[in-house]
Amino acid sequence: MQVIAAFRRLGYAPIPGVPDQGVWRAGTITAVDLVLTSLGLDGEAPFLRSRVCGLRHAKRAAAVLRMPVSDTISRLRTLGYEVAADDATPESDYRRCGVIDDAGQRADPATPLPEIHAQLVARDLAERPSTVKRCLRRLGYSVGRSSLSEPTASDFILASADATGYLPCHPLGTPISIPLVHRAADRADVSPPVAVERLIRMGYSIAEGSPMTTLGNCHRAILARSGMSWVARPVSPARVVAEALALHWPLSKTVRVLEELGLSVADPRTHLPKNRPC
C-alpha cells in the first residue's frame, strides 16, 4: 500500500490491483482504499502490517469515511485482509507478550512464534517461560520448539532480528541469510559456525550458502558500519563506493570483503575506466 500511495501522489491513478498470489483481487486501488488501510486513516504511511485487521479499525474507518461498517469490512476482505472480531483482552496483554508493535499492529496468530521469543519475554519480565507461553496460547498464538533449554545472552542476540538481543525475533519459516548470520555472529561475539548451530537448535533454518569460519578485522569493520541495515538486500555500486571511501579501502578490497560476507554486490568497477588506480 505504501508503494501504491507513492504512485498516487505522483499522479498515477487509478492503479490496477497488484497481483500477489491471489491476495490482491481484481479491481483498482482507490483513495478510499488508501485511507482504509492506513493506520492513521489518513491515506498515508504507515499502513496495516498484518493481514489480520481488528474490527475496531474497520469501525473507525467507517466513521472517517462515512460509510457502513459492513462496506469497510467487505472492502478490507477484498484487499486481502482478515477482519477479526475484537476480543475483550486488554491491549496490555499483547504488549506484555511482545506480539504488538508501537503502531498497535498485532503479530499474525497464523504464524508460530519461535520459542526464543517466549524466553526473551520471560527474561525481560522476570517470569518463567512457561508462564509466557500460557499467556501466548491464551491470546491465540502457538510457539515453536527449541532444543535450547537455557538460552544465553548470545542466543538472544542471534535470534533478534536487529541483532540487539531484544524483540522482534527472526520469524520462523523464513531462512536466515548468510549475511545476517555474519552480522549476528559479530554482535554476539561467536564464530559464524557456532551461530548457525545455535540458530538451528532454536528452530530456525539457514539460507543456502557457506558462512565463514571466522570473521577477520576487515569483515568486522564492514559489519560495524551503520549497523549494516542494508545487509538483507543487494549492495548497489553507490553503497560500495561509499563504504570504500569511509574505510579508506580500494574498491577491489571492498568488493571482496562484501562478497566474503555473503552479500550480492554490484561491482562499481565495471563502470569505471580500465586504467583506474584501484
What is the residue-wise DSSP string for the chain? -HHHHHHHHTT--SEEPPPSTTSS-SSEE-HHHHHHHBTTSSS-SSB--SSEEEHHHHHHHHHHHTS-HHHHHHHHHHTT-EEEPP-S--HHHHHHTT-B-TTSPBPPTTSPBPHHHHHHHHHHHT--HHHHHHHHHHTT--B---S-SS--HHHHHHHBTTSSSSSPBPPTTSPBPHHHHHHHHHHHTS-HHHHHHHHHHTT--B-SS---SS--HHHHHHHTGGGGTTTTSPBPHHHHHHHHHHHT--HHHHHHHHHHTT--B--GGGGS-TT---
* Per-residue pLDDT at 22: 39
Per-residue confidence (pLDDT) for residue 117, from 0 to 100: 96
The pLDDT of residue 213 is 96
Mean pLDDT in order along the chain per 10 residues (278 residues) = 54 43 53 87 81 80 88 87 68 85 78 95 92 92 90 96 92 92 95 97 94 95 74 80 93 94 86 59
Q: What is the pLDDT of residue 227?
A: 58
> What pLDDT is recorded for position 1?
56
Q: What is the pLDDT of residue 101?
A: 77
pTM: predicted TM-score of the whole model, two decimal places: 0.67
Instruction: Identify the pLDDT of residue 14.
Output: 43
The confidence score (pLDDT) of residue 25 equals: 43
Task: Give the per-residue pLDDT at 26.
Answer: 42
Is residue 188 within 8 A of residue 202, CB to CB? The reply is no
Q: What pLDDT sits at residue 276?
A: 56
- Residue 49 is predicted with a pLDDT of 74
Residues 9, 13, 19, CA angle at the centre, nearest 5°? 105
